[in-house]
Amino acid sequence: MFASSSYKNIDNGDYEVTEEDELAAIDYELRQIECECQKLTDRKKVLIDRKQKLKDNALLKKSYSLAKKNWNTENFSWSTSLKRSLIDVFKIDRLRPLQLQTMNAFLSNEDIILVMPTGGGKSLCYQLPAVISKGITIVVSPLVALMEDQLYGLHRLKVNAMMLNSKAPKEDVKTIMMGLIDNKSDLRLVYVTPEYMAKSNRFMSKLQKAFEMKRLDRFAIDEVHCCSQWGHDFRPDYKFLGILKTMFPGIPILGLTATAPAKIIVDVQKMLDIQGCLVLRASFNRPNLFYEVRRKLSDKDKCTEMIVNLLKNRFSGKSGIIYTTTIKESEQLKADLRGHGLKVGCYHAMLEAEHRTKVYSKWITGEYQAVVATIAFGLGIDKPDVRFVIHHCISKSMENFYQESGRAGRDGKKSTCILLYRLMDVFKLSTMVFQDKVGLQNLYKILAYCLDRTSCRRSLIATHFEETWTKSDCKEMCDHCLKSQQKKELDIGPYCRHLYQIIANAAQGEQKLTPLKLIDAWYNKGAAALRVAGVPTPKFPREIGEAIVGHLLINGYLQEDFHFSAYSTLTYVKKGPKSGLALANDHKIIVEMMDH
């Protein structure tokens, strides 16, 4: 009768512990050790991050001390000329915060990194000094669209500026190469992609000649965060720019970005060999922008109807941008919106330059209410009266989201930024970014922003950019502050263990689970073989279920598992690094959810 027992009866009435019981005890102790190891790993990460931040802060002290010098004066030899050209050439009567400081320092041959929000007026900081100088300013930019937009504006002001990239017409290339070394040329700005600089020996040779002739005045590097591997848009060809200080000693560099935490600023300074340079940083708060996150409906037609309703009612007669993930999506959404009688254009990298210019002109003049543009291509458009930006899909990072939404309200008037969020879109993007050094980390931060159901949107943005804004700074200019939701804390630990059971069951059948199949199996749908009888079907809506999976993903309880196929990259879901903690029945995973 004791054959299946864990204990063995001994003559004196005592029981001896069997091997089975000892194995169970060892397993229990191993789980406890695993939990302790995970806690120590988490603590180690916190300490390493803190140590790096302290090091970065020490390196930045020199930069910020330079900023204490009074650059905000009109007592420089160029001040009169600067003011005259501001009014006569650019038709602007006053400068925005930090513009004068940046220009005075740049004209004083200081190296500078300027961190200023989208719409803050970064481009004027190198355009105006270029106009009052006799030599050439080289502007390095990663976006052809941005360069085209700036050239369009400069040509209207009758400023001689040109652009070099792989598709530049031969005549333009010839004119620029000659202009670089012609003392009589009135060419003031040359816009160039980093890839062109890295690959064109002819251009670099002419640049050296211009330097020897003292015709090379300064370098402006737009989107300078692309230099850093820690940046959200790292571009390998930006590494080439590290030779500028060696090749052109004494020529000042102005690095410009809308988004750069301390870690990236330090990394960029090292890469460009301008350690300890002047760093000027404006606040990230755009008080005129209203931030809103909406659930993206899974039904394509209903999602389109929601956007149509916004454009025909809330944004009737107003100009805007709608961001999509892929070229195919942008073309499809344009067609769908036109099918509802809306005047919209499409703007992406595969369009012919002539067609792209036509779309741009129709949007600028108001013939098109909105442009549908790909996130990957970006839209470097300085249109002041953009009243709305709609993200049809989430961005790849908080930095991207901030910059893209920042295209709205450049004239300072109230504008709206709506992000349409759906968990499955995250997995579309994760296969695109997981090979980047911080790609997934950045993507999960924007996922966390979407999943937060209670915090002020502004405070979340501020925290990400190492600033502190209070709820009063928002002034009800986000969906949460405008209408506070009833919230409650929920322990999602039990649901995590249910999902582990589904994952374990699939593994026994040698199957991998896509995110969709995992959630389907949890809700007792999809393939019968993937369902687990002992796992109860959730009583809450699928929206909540997806939010729970999102929380488990960003907190390390679940993990994406990427695999290459012949035609694409696939993502599956497996237990995350914190699974050892979660498997303990007493382990709680507390998240804030809306009260349903």
DSSP calls for 56-121: HHHHHHHHHHHTTS----S-STTHHHHHHHHHHTT--SSPPTTHHHHHHHHHTT--EEEE--TTS-
- Report the pLDDT value the prediction gives residue 361, as an integer from 0 to 100: 87
Rounded distance, CA 523 to CA 544, Å?
Answer: 12
| DSSP output for 168-186 | --HHHHHHHHHHHT-TT--
Provide mean pLDDT across the span 394-412.
89
Least confident of 7-16, 287-296, 409-418: 7-16
Question: Which residue from 31, 29, 24 is spatially nearest to 582, judged by alpha carbons?
Answer: 31
pLDDT band at 248 (very low <50, low <70, confident <90, very high): very high
* Tokens 């002739």 sit on residue: 213
516: pLDDT strictly greater than 90: yes
Q: For residue 331, which amino acid is it?
A: E
Least confident of 154-158, 483-487, 513-517, 571-575: 483-487
CB neighbour burial string for 128-164, b if at least 16 within 10 angstroms, e if fewer: bbbbbeebbbbbbbbbbbbbbbbbeebeeeebbbbbb
Provide mean pLDDT across the span 300-309.
96
491: pLDDT strictly greater than 90: yes
Structure tokens at 546: 């997806």
Beta bridge partners of 322: 372, 390
Can you say whether residue 179 is alpha, beta or left, with left for phi > 0 and alpha for psi between -120 and 50 degrees? alpha
Question: Which residue from 443, 444, 431 is spatially nearest to 571, judged by alpha carbons?
Answer: 431
CB neighbour burial string for 453-489, b if at least 16 within 10 angstroms, e if fewer: eebbbbbbbbebbeeebeeebbeebbbbbeeeeeeee
| DSSP output for 294-307 | EEPPSSHHHHHHHH
Rounded distance, CA 255 to CA 143, Å?
Answer: 15
Tell me the C-alpha to C-alpha distance, in Å, between residue 317 and each of 162, 216, 342, 387, 528: 34, 46, 11, 10, 51
- Report the pLDDT value the prediction gives residue 584, as an integer from 0 to 100: 83
Whether the predicted model's global pTM rises above the 0.95 cut: no
- Report the pLDDT value the prediction gives residue 186, as an integer from 0 to 100: 94
DSSP-derived letter for residue 529 is: G
Domains recognised in the chain with CATH numbers: 1-59 (no CATH), 67-281 (3.40.50.300), 289-482 (3.40.50.300), 489-594 (1.10.10.10)
Q: How high does pLDDT run on average in the chain?
A: 89
Crossing angle of the two packed helices 493-508 and 515-522, in degrees rounded to 10: 110
Greatest mean pLDDT among 16-20, 61-65, 369-373 lies in: 369-373
- Report the pLDDT value the prediction gives residue 1, as an integer from 0 to 100: 37
Of 69, 83, 122, 328, the catalytic one is 122
The residue among 322 and 357 whose pLDDT is bigger is: 322
pLDDT band at 319 (very low <50, low <70, confident <90, very high): very high
| DSSP output for 442-502 | HHHHHHHHHH-SSS-HHHHHHHHTT----HHHHTT-BHHHHSPPPEEEEE-HHHHHHHHHH
- Report the pLDDT value the prediction gives residue 3, as an integer from 0 to 100: 42
Rounded distance, CA 422 to CA 545, Å?
Answer: 12
- Report the pLDDT value the prediction gives residue 14, as an integer from 0 to 100: 58
239: pLDDT strictly greater than 90: no
Provide mean pLDDT across the span 415-423.
97
Cβ atoms of 308 and 335 closer than 8 Å: no
- Report the pLDDT value the prediction gives residue 264, as an integer from 0 to 100: 83
The residue among 48 and 314 whose pLDDT is bigger is: 314
User: For 522-577, how does the pLDDT look when each residue is reduced to its tens digit (9 = 90+)?
Assistant: 999 999 999 999 999 999 999 999 999 999 999 999 999 999 988 889 999 999 99
- Report the pLDDT value the prediction gives residue 379, as an integer from 0 to 100: 52
Provide mean pLDDT across the span 32-58.
82
| DSSP output for 182-249 | -TT----EEEE-HHHHHH-HHHHHHHHHHHHTT-EEEEEETTGGGGSTTSTT--GGGGGGGGHHHHST
- Report the pLDDT value the prediction gives residue 4, as an integer from 0 to 100: 43
**Phi and psi of 136, rounded to 5°?**
-110, 140
Rounded distance, CA 233 to CA 225, Å?
Answer: 7
CB neighbour burial string for 178-193, b if at least 16 within 10 angstroms, e if fewer: ebbbeeebebbbbbbb
5: pLDDT strictly greater than 50: no
Provide mean pLDDT across the span 36-43.
84
Provide mean pLDDT across the span 319-339.
94
Tell me the C-alpha to C-alpha distance, in Å, between residue 374 and each of 290, 346, 434: 22, 9, 19
300: pLDDT strictly greater than 70: yes
Tell me if residue 588 is catalytic. no
Structure tokens at 337: 């919106």
84: pLDDT strictly greater than 70: yes
- Report the pLDDT value the prediction gives residue 265, as an integer from 0 to 100: 86
- Report the pLDDT value the prediction gives residue 596, as an integer from 0 to 100: 45
The residue among 142 and 426 whose pLDDT is bigger is: 426
